[in-house]
Each structure stands twice: as structure tokens, then as C-alpha cells.
Structure 1
Amino acid sequence: MASSLASIQFTPTPASFPSLAPRLRFKAPSNIPVNHDPLNPITFLLRAALVYPNKLALAHPDTPNPVAYTFSIWAQRTQNLAYALLKAGLNHGDRVAVIAPNTPLIADAHYGVLAARGILVPINTRLKPHEVAYILEHSGASIILVDYEYKHLVGSTKARVIVSNDTGRAGDPYEEFLTQGRAYSNERGWQGLEAEPDENTGAVLCYTSGTTGRPKGVITTLRGSYLAAIGNAFEGQINKTSTYLWILPMFHASGWTYPWANVFAFATQITLRTVNFTHIWNHLIHSGVTHYCGAPTVQIGIINDPLARKLPPSRPVTAIIAGAAPTAHLIAELEKKGIKPVHVYGLTETYGPFTRNYEQDAWANLSLDERSRFMARQGHAFATAGEVRVVFQSENSDVLEDVPADGKTLGEIVTRGNIVMKEYFNDPAATSKAFKGGSFRTGDLAVIHPDGSVAIMDRSKDIIISGGENASSLAIEQELASHPHVLEVSVVARNHIKWGERPMAFVTLHPQHTSKWKGRHHEFEKDLKAHAKPRLPGFACPEWVEVVPELPKTSTGKILKTELRKVVAKL
């Protein structure tokens, strides 16, 4: 155990300790062929508890009550949770909501709920009470596991509410719930829990952000979760020696399946309640962290923190980036810190990432700017995913026709296969629309290059149509971000009398350059436009530039263009 984790002084509750030589397997379902084992990510934890029972599995250090669990103890705790849920009346297919930051509670739920053959509903802690109320009602959650800090989000509900004080100690309501589960088990252990015979049954019900209306519930399956987790472990090169730091919220698309991927790989996980850059750098420096996930905006905060420093080459760190393409400047700054960026792409409907930018040997001899342009592509499909395609859009036909692989012709990204959602919960119309043509239609507009790699140009709603020309806001942002004084930038369409629409850029400045432009933002605007002119066609150059102190973002660090459009609409 690394030095900063070894200092945790903690003894789990008595109910957390397994019996001697526990049988780490479910009761076998009947009528299952000998040559078929239904895929279920729960088996990752049972296998880890069998192979490495005493290895540190989960550490939660930066709280008043730090905890640390080995694989064997964590497996027992999730077993206790499964029995507690059954005792509380959970039936097969019932939904269990969890409202929590990155804590052992939400990590437990990714196993215990599935072990009880329920469906997990992770809820964004940044939502308003009325938004949470909608999700609870729409999902029909009968039991709610909630962190003490977010009790106010639950409101009045008929569902049973279990509160965790995030202590891991006796007297905590959640710990008492687990203890009751252990007692209810009557020491039947995992053999008293029946394995789910249908690997295509629902596992998790995640809700989309709802930026264009009510959020949709995305049902993913046990099979898909299993295969997506293996894909992420393989693509991220996570193994027994890895230590994963939880910066990405586990409630966001089930943490891109990393709650299961890390356990499949026997990796140690460290949970953080908040995105605290002091804690992040403490763990990067002292806890042997090898992997973490985060959007580019989070990465920017990491590299610009006062504690940021170059990490030793003997202990490389991989940063798995999604949500937007990393800019050349961000790539360079991460590499200067000894952090290797891995660019992936996906959606809630695809269990998080399903493509990766696979670095090519030929890139080693390129300049950083040239290399970053290749690294900004979304790349090729995961080993466990179906093929990623770019197709012509057609509203009146179910036939999906591939665009030429010329790196120029715009089409929509579609995919199908193992790690595509099962359906939108209780919304057959939306499901049918999303699967039109026999593939999942992402709504992301892209090109495909001769080497088969995909590069997103924009969301369909974010394309700026200026004088009949289609301008990609993402392409514009990539070029503007190459200005050395730009920290972050987001571009949206603004109405124009002559051209219909023109780009407007919202920019935050690097802290070290803020003073230079203080009171002279109009001069910075001229400077940025001059920077953009040789890099962008005239219709794509920003007509307006506004320097802002910060950009509006989601809880996972994605820039909220919907909020910027509201600002633009008033201009």
C-alpha cells in the first residue's frame, strides 16, 4: 500500500468480515447449458476476492472518517447490501436509486444492487430537487441510498430511504443497514443469492443530461456492462499494479463502467468526494496513482494547480479523456507533467467510451501541433464494441449509407453491438428513433479518414450555418485554443443580419496572462481574431469574442453550450 494510504487507521464493522473460506459464487441458475455462463460484472469482485483477498481494493482517505477495504471485505459488504435490499422487499427488476458523490456507498451499489437482481439508478448530485423528483418518479425507484450531504434532494417520497453518513463505522445508518443484511443472510453467503440467468436483463438505468428536454432513462444490461468494463480495462492498460483515482463521478454513465473495469483488473481504487486539486496532486505524488478519467476542463484544472509538478518517469500516469477533444496545448502540458493523455469517445447510451484514439508509431516524429491534430480524432472502436461508422443522414429512409473515407464528407456517427444500450426506459418511440436503420444514431457529426479513424466535427445542433457554409464549432475551438493565452474556449452561433449565423467565442484566459489583458479585452479580441485568420476559413472566424471569468459546466466538466446560447439570445 502506498504511503498516503498506509496511514489509514480503520477497522471495518464486524459484519464486514467474511466467514472462513467463503464460497465466492452464486447459486447456479437452473436450465443453463454447461457451455454457457451468463455474463455479469458481479463475478469480477468474487474473482478478485478469491485471487487477491487481502489486496487493497477501495480506499476513501480524504474525509473525517477514512476507510479502506480489501477485496475479501468489500465482497462481504456488497453481499450484505444485497441481502439488506432483499430484506427491504426488493424484487427482481426493481430499481434502487443512489445519490452520492464518489464514496464507498456508490461503489458498493454497483455490486450489491446487481447481486440482489435489482437495477441501479445512479443520480447526478448536481441536479435540483425537482429534477431528482422527476427521475425518482420516472424510474419507479422503490429504495433510495443517499449520502448525508444530499438528503435534501430526496424530498417527500414513498420509497424507503437509507442514509449513509460516510463513516464506515458502527452507528452509521448505512452500516446498520448492511449489518441487518448480514443477519438476514443467516450465513447462507453467496450461495443464498441466485445468479441472474438472463445476461441481457437490465443492470443500470442512467439518465441523460436532458439539455433538450426531459432526461431520458438509458437501460444498459449485465452483458453490456461486463464487456464494456473489460474493454475499458484493456484499452486503458489497467492491471493488478494499477491505482485508479476517482475524479470522474461514478453517477455519470456508471463512471464509464470503471467501477467494474478496475475490479476486473484487480486494481486499487481511491475515491474522492469532490474534485479537489490539492487532494488529486497529493495522490498523484504520494499514492502511486496510475490512472484517472476526466473531461478536458478537469485536466486543465489539474495542470494549472499550484501543486502541479513533473511526475517521475518511473511511474507514468494515464489520463483518459472524453467529453471533448484535448487541445494541442493541453496535450503538451499533460505530457510535461508526465501524464499520458488517452483520448476516448462515447455517450451514456454506449456505456461511456466505445472508441479510442490509437496512437500510431509514425506520430513520434511529428511536431506537437501535428501530433495533436491526430490525437484529437475519436479514432476506432474498442475491442469489445461494434464497428464505428459515419453515415449519410436520411429522415425518410432506414438505409444507412457510409460516407466516403476522405476526411471531408460530413455524416453521423452510428454504431451497434455489444456495448450499445438496451433501450430508453419506458420510451419506445425514442428507442425506435435512436435505432432507426439498425444502428444507434449518436447525433454527432463527423468525418472518416482513409485510415478508418473517425473525427467528430460537431453535434448536429452545434453546427453553425454561416452564409450557407457549415462551420464546426469544435474545429473553431481547436484553433482558438492554440492561442497561447487561451485557457478554455467555447463557440456558439449568434444571429447575423447578412450571414444568418456567425460564430461567437467565449474565452477564459490563462491565469498568468490575465493581468496583461485586464481592461483591454477589446485588444485581446483583435489579437485572437488575427490568430484565427490564417487558421480558419473566413466564415468560421469568430465575429465576436467575449472574455469571461469562467464557462458554465456540468458536474462532469462539460461546457454547457445551452447556457451560452441563452446569453447570446439576449444580445
Structure 2
Amino acid sequence: MTAAAQAAFRPTQESIPPSNAELTLRIPDGVHINLHPLIYPNKLALAHADVPHPVFYTYAVWAQRVQNLAYALIHAGIEPGDRIAVIAPNSPMIADALQAVCAARCILTTINIRLTKQEVDYILEHSGAKILFVDHEYVHLAKGAKAKVIVCRDTGLPSDPYEQFLSSGRHLSRERGWGGLVMDADENKPCSLNYTSGTTGRPKGVLTTLRGTYLAAVANAYETQMDRYSSYLWVLPMFHAAGWTYPWACTFAFATQVTIRTVDAGLIWKHLLHSRVTHYCGAPTVEIAIVNHPDARSLGHPVTAIIAGAAPTAHLISELEKKGIKPVHVYGLTETYGPITRGYPQDSWANLPPEERNKLAARQGHAFATSHPTRVVYPPGDHPSHASPDILVDVPKDGKTIGEIAMAGNIVTSGYYKDPEATKRAFRGGWFSSGDLAVWYPDGSIAIQDRSKDIIISGGENASSLAIEQELATYPDILEVSVVAREHPKWGERPMAFVQLRPEAVKKWAGRHKEFAASLQEHVKERLPGFARPEWVTIVDELPKTSTGKILKTSLRRMAKEMAKL
């Protein structure tokens, strides 16, 4: 992303705002609210450099493009509350759409590019999307769609069909500008409709509101100390839970957004080293690829890595810090707009040994300032005082008793779209039931033990696969590890570990996998009780993952089941 490339780029004529442009939406009659125009119109807002036709948009130009999209949507027949959809990797089109839906007062569904055609068809049908924007690489997923389909070639050129759609919006606006667009008077109106992964059945549509989106975005900017000097690299897909509301966190902070179409550690290091990137989000698997890449080195400027999707190991936290990357460990779900808790560093950790300090940093911590404090409660029927399933009883804050994480407040979904029964089940007792199991500590912090379906019950003892993984990851030759339950004739279940070795250790253990397994089991003998030690260890070339870098334990459980039959 060179200065020369930025200087050479010219946006389409319709993307350039008039010199006297007003940059705020019109306030509805009867609503008393203060608005302000853009403060840094000439700041670089969006950089998309690693494509055949690089584009660079300042905030003033990008605001005009978002305005053009809003007008184009309205003139295409989109009314308040209507749904539109986007199938695209990280690129200007999806970034535009996430901003424009607020101006057009419609609802955006961002669709995972890794889904099957059948899954995409279901989401389009269920959401009732009227317009579908699709990136040129994924037009096969749009085939047969009932919605009007607009293809983007990701060029930024006037001949691009997407650019022509934006140009039509500028023409149809009759230069009324932002003043011709009216903000929604009801802050509880839906903003986005994000579909869950659907690993346990049909994906559910999670509704977010304008109010929740704003407060989640403000929280993300605050918790990561993002400001107008920041540059955010889009490693996390924007299609995942609307990018955890970071699209709006960046615009709130006037940060620069750098988009890359694929998660490539080499490309990430290119921008870390040469584009002054200061922030990015990524799952631990992505962070592992980053710290182990040949280009990895200590950075000369501060970088914050927002980590979620799984708990980072103490070793990973240490490796990131060696590179000058500050880990900010957060936790959340699609139903909580992405992150809702953070592991807050404590002054008392300063003199602790690094491994002990990093284990504490790997906790999920406390709730964001814009959320209600998180609870850990007994599952229904697990406590004698349960008069009914709708009465929530807190587990003791002893750091030992396992319960389910429950959330409430500003940044929790308003419910599942067209699914009142699922909404009722999720909102048991007036709180959102996460399905994640955790312990609660005396200081109020929480630490996830597992998803309820990932707990390994061995001889009547509950073993946390996450806790086992944390200990196995301390073995120096392991790059990544994941643990699942496998059927056992005596104990019911026992842990099975799937291990990816570090590149330099692959040759060391070639043809000696049984010796590696014995060595690993010996390594954790003093770290784990007998029922939690892996009974089986399998070395794999790589672990199966989702598009956001989460390890697919469903696939590993199937593999373990097949192996048990042999």
C-alpha cells in the first residue's frame, strides 16, 4: 500500500462529493438530537490495495459512495425494514453496504462465502432479501436467486456493474445529498440479520438493532483504544456477525480500514510491516499462523490483536508479545454482536511468572462497559433450588463450579428472525443462554471451560477439552491441537487429541508417531488428572477450520467416531 499507488488512484466521477456537501442525515420531525459533520473528510478511510485495480477512498469520497448506494437502494424499491444481502470477501462493496443500510433504513444480511449453495439458498429465502450484491468470484452462489442480483467485479472502474449501480444512485439523488436521507427515529429498529453457522441444524437469523450496533461499536473502539491514528486490517471476515461491529467502530474512531480478500499470513505481515496497521481481529488459529510465518519479526510500532473464537494459550500470548503485538482477549457470539467480555489485565499480575500471567490473561474476563455484567448459572435441574427451568441460579464464585454463561443488556440480540420458539428458549429467565460452560472467580471474571457439547464425561468426571488443549499446547513441538471425546468401553469417554506439529518438528517425528504420543502423554502427566489425559493422539497435516479460523470440532468428532470402529 504505497503512497504512489494512493496518489495515482482516481475514484469514479460520481464518487467525488460536491464542494458544499452536507455530511449528515436529515433529522425526522419531532426528534431532538445533536449531529455533527465529518471531522476528517480527507483522512484515508478505505484502502483495498492487493487487487488488480487498487482503490483508496478518503472519508469524504467514501461518504459520497455510501450515500450513492443508499439512494440507489431506495430508488430500486427498498423500503424501511426490507432486507438486502451481500456475498463477498473483505472488499469495498461489503464495507459500503454495512454503512449504507443505516442511511437507507433497511436490514443487511452478510452471507458466509464458504457456505454451500443449499445453505445460501435457505438464508436468501428465509431472510426474504430483495437485492443480492455478489462478488464476481461467488456468482455461482447467486444462481437462481429470487432477489435482484448485482455483481461486483471489485475494480472500482466505471464499467463495473456495482459502480454503475452506485452511479445511478448519484443521478437519482438529484444532488439532495445526505440531507435528502432521513435517519430512523426508532433506535430499536433492526440493523443487520446475521445467520449462525448452522452446525446443529438450520442456521438461525440473529437480529441486531441500531442502538445495540452503535453501543457495541463504541465499546469495541474503546476497549481496543482505536482512534483517528489507527489503521484496522480486515483479517476477520466482514460477513461474520457483521464484522463484530468493527465496520462501525472504525468509522466511529475515524480509523483507516485496510481490506484483504483472503486470510494470508504473508499478506498480513506485508501490511503490518509497511502499512502501519495498528489493529486487527483473529481467532487463535490465525494468530498461530501469523507468529510462525517466515516474515514474522518484532514490530517497530504498537499493534493490537483482538483475539476471539477460542481461548489463546499462554504460549501464543507470549509469542505475540515477542513480536510487539498486544493481545486483547475478548469473548462473544453472533447473538452478542461479537465481543461482549474482555480479559482485563490486572496490576497484581505484574510480578507473576510469564506462564502464570498469560494463563490469567486467557480468561474471558468481565463484561464490556456497554453490557450488563455477565453471569454464570446452573443449567436447568442442576441445583436443588430450581423451582422451574425459568429461574436462574448463580454458581458460586469459586473458580471451580461449572455453569452456563448468561448475558443481558445493550449488546444482546433482540431475538431470532421468524423463530419465536428459539427466541423463547434462548431467553430463559430473562437472560440469553449462551450454551458455553464456564467457572466464575471471586473477582467476577469468567473462564470458559467448554461448549456444553464439548465437555468430555470420563468415568463420571467432567473434563474440559479447552483446559486439556491449554496444557497440551505447552509441548514445544505442537503448533496447534484440538481435543474431542471418543467412546471408551470402560470409561464411557476419553479425550482424543488431534495435533498439528510445528514445521521443524515434522521431520523429527516422521515414522515415530507412537513415540510422539507417548512423549506428549508423559509431558502432561503432572499437568492433568488421569481422566483428562488424552488416551489417543493423532498427528494430522492440518486441522479442519471454518472460514473465520475456528477449528471444526464436528469434523474431528466424526473422525474420532470412525477411528473407534477400527
Q: For 1:361-396, what per-residue CA distance to the aligned partner results, in whole angstroms no more than 9, with x for missing partners?
A: 221211121011101100000011111111111154
Answer yes or no: is 1:517 the counterpart of 2:509. Answer: yes
1:13 matched residue in structure 2: 12
* 2:496 is equivalent to residue 497 of structure 1: no
What is the CA distance between 1:169 and its match in structure 2?
Answer: 1.1
- Map of 1:4 onto structure 2: 2
Report what 2:280 is aligned to. Answer: 292
Q: Which residue number in structure 2 is paired with residue 345 of structure 1?
A: 331
Kept after mapping to 2: 8 A contact 1:247/1:275: yes
* Structure-2 residue corresponding to 1:416: 408
Structure 2 residues without counterparts, runs of 5 or longer: 382-387
Q: Following the alignment from structure 1 to structure 2, what is the Cα–Cα distance between the partners of residues 348 and 542?
A: 31
Residues 198-235 of structure 1, C-alpha deviations (whole Å, 9 max, x = no match)? 11011000000011111100000000000000000000
1:160 partner amino acid: K
SS of 1:257's partner is: helix
Answering whether residue 424 of structure 2 is matched by residue 432 of structure 1, we say yes
**2:349 aligns with one of 352, 363, 369:** 363
Give the drift of 1:113: 2.0
Residue 75 of structure 1 aligns with an amino acid whose one-letter code is A
After the TM superposition, list the runs of 4 or more consecutive aligned residues in structure 1 that deviate by more than 2 angstroms. 3-9
Cα distance in 1 for partners of 2:121, 2:83 equals 14
Q: Matched residues in 1 for 2:261 and 2:125: separation?
A: 26
Residue 527 (structure 2) aligned to one of 532, 535, 557? 535
354-363 or 392-401: which moved more? 392-401
Shift, 1:6, TM fit: 4.8
Deviations 1:432-474 (A, max 9, x none): 0000100011010001111111000000000000000000000
> In structure 2, what is the equivalent of residue 27 of structure 1?
26
Does residue 222 of structure 2 align to residue 224 of structure 1? Answer: no
Q: CA deviation at 1:5?
A: 4.9
SS at match of 1:369: helix
What's the counterpart of residue 238 of structure 1? 226
Separation in 2, partners of 1:528, 1:6: 52
Cα distance in 1 between the residues matched to 2:102 and 2:112: 19
Which of 170, 185, 201 is the equivalent residue of 1:197? Answer: 185
CA deviations over 1:275-327 (Å, ceiling 9, x no partner):
12222111111111111000000001111111111112xx1111110011111
Q: Helix, strand or coil: the match of 2:428?
A: coil
Return the letter of the residue paired with 2:140. Answer: H
Q: Which residue identity lines up with residue 447 of structure 1 in the other structure?
A: V
How far does residue 30 in structure 1 lie from its aligned partner after superposition? Answer: 2.3
How many residues of Structure 1 are paired with residues of Structure 2 in the alignment? 556
What does residue range 303-452 of structure 1 map to in structure 2 within 5 Å? 303-312=291-300, 315-394=301-380, 396-452=388-444
User: d(CA) in 1 for partners of 2:117 and 2:88?
Assistant: 14
Aligned to 2:161: 173
Once the two structures are TM-superposed, the CA of residue 490 in structure 1 deviates from its matched residue by: 0.6
Counterpart residue type for residue 353 of structure 1: P
CA distance in structure 1 between the aligned counterparts of 2:22 and 2:355, rounded to whole angstroms? 55
Aligned match for 1:261, one of 237, 245, 249: 249
Q: Distance in 1 between matches of 2:253 and 2:412?
A: 22
The answer to whether the 8 Å contact 2:102/2:183 transfers is no
The SS at the match of 1:384 is coil
Taking only aligned residues, the RMSD between alpha carbons, in angstroms, comes to 1.1
The percent of aligned pairs where both chains have the same amino acid is 65
Question: Which amino acid letter does the alignment assign opposite residue 378 of structure 1?
Answer: Q
Cα contact 1:507–1:545 (8 A) shared by 2: yes
Q: CA deviation digits over 1:86-143, x for unaligned, max 9?
A: 1111111110000000000000001112211110000000111111111001110000
CA distance in structure 1 between the aligned counterparts of 2:467 and 2:22, rounded to whole angstroms: 55
SS at match of 1:326: coil
Which residue pairs with 1:101 in the alignment? 89
Letter of the aligned partner of 2:195 in structure 1?
Y
CA pair 6-394 structure 1, distance change in 2 beyond 3 A? farther
When the two structures are superposed, what TM-score results if normalisation uses the length of structure 1? 0.96
Partner of 1:127: 115
Conserved? CA contact 1:466–1:539, under 8 Å? yes
Aligned partner of 1:80 among 58, 64, 68: 68
Equivalent position SS for 1:281: helix
In structure 2, what is the equivalent of residue 457 of structure 1?
Answer: 449
Q: Which residue of 2 aligns with 1:568?
A: 560
